[in-house]
């Protein structure tokens, strides 16, 4: 399994290729707020572990393993954003909070959260009940 840091890179690279068709070192560095030399180092590691193939002139291509893992990580990020948004977390906190927790949850927890999101999706009234309880607790304190 990739380390949390490798996960961040794979997630970013998958998203860039998905959205723009390619992933440049400068775009990866900017998105992760790291120095381009760190990106180059990590790309070499990801290449060695067969998540991608890096060629100086052709650029960076994800292997099928890299695509599979990358998609899983992007989906996980989206699910957690949806979850926090659903339970009423303010938009301004969501991205940072997801970045903080996504690498530290087991897939067991992730699939349970997925089920919980589905539980709320199936009946809007459940979301309203949740907000009502939140309001009630907030008023008590």
Residues in contact with Co ion, total (CB under 5 A)?
A: 1
According to DSSP, the residues that pair with 62 across neighbouring strands are: 52
136 three-class SS: helix
Binding of residue 77 to Co ion (CB under 5 A):
yes
Residue ranges of E strands in the chain:
52-55, 59-62
- Of the pair 68, 126, the CB lying nearest Co ion is at 68
Binding of residue 24 to Co ion (CB under 5 A):
no
- Of the pair 43, 102, the CB lying nearest Co ion is at 102
Could you give the CA distance from residue 20 to residue 65 in angstroms, rounded to a whole number? 20
Contact region with Co ion (CB under 5 A), list: 25-33, 36-44, 69-77, 118-126: 69-77
What are residue 23's phi and psi, to 5 degrees? -130, 115
Contact residues: Co ion, CB under 5 A = 77
């Amino acid at each position: 399994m990739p380390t949390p840091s490798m996960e961040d890179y794979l997630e970013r690279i998958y998203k860039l290729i998905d959205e723009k068709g390619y992933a440049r070192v400068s775009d990866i560095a900017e998105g992760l707020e790291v120095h381009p030399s760190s990106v180059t180092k990590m790309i070499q590691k990801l290449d060695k572990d067969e998540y991608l193939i890096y060629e100086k002139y052709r650029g960076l291509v994800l292997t099928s393993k890299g695509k599979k893992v990358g998609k899983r990580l992007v989906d996980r990020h989206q699910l957690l954003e949806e979850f926090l948004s659903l339970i009423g977390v303010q938009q301004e906190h969501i991205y940072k909070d997801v970045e903080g927790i996504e690498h530290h949850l087991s897939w067991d927890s992730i699939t349970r959260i997925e089920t919980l999101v589905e539980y709320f999706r199936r009946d809007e009234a459940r979301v309203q009940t949740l907000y009502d309880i939140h309001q009630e607790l907030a008023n008590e304190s």
